Amino acid sequence: MQVLKGRGISKGVAKGEALVMRQTFSFLGGVDPETGIITERGHEFEGESVTRKILVFPGGKGSTGGSYALMEMKEKGVGPKALINTKTETIIAVGAILAELPLVDQLEQDPIQAIVSGDTVEVDGDKGLVKIF
């Protein structure tokens, strides 16, 4: 097991399968809020589900509506379990807080390099830790 230290942004602890994206991501228009399927044309994971995954991505993009889209996905049971960013911006931070999803960023090692899709990962937003199993 590898433990990476970072900055906890949204509290909570979640463990699950990682989905590692190399592209920035928007929850408004980038994913179907009814199904959790990535719909952004040309995205490396277009057609894949974010449901119950630990999403690892550089950061967000798009409008503030993405915060509410993330909360809506959580309420419908199709959202991710937790988020890990290289550097979080406001839209993703607010969305994670509203949806009560653990969120960690600014890890001591680039999470996009350290984590591989399919890895089991635990995100501890309280302590700012990411465990890779």
The residue behind tokens 């090692």 is 109
Strand partners, 124: 13, 129
Q: Is 63 a catalytic residue?
A: yes
Strand, helix or coil for residue 56: strand
- Strands 54-57 and 129-132 turn out to be unpaired
Cα radius of gyration rounded to whole Å, the chain = 13
Length of the chain: 133
Query: Of these residues, 10, 49, 63, 67, which one is catalytic?
Result: 63
Q: Give the Cα separation of 102 and 124 in Å (integer).
A: 6
- Active site positions, annotated: 63
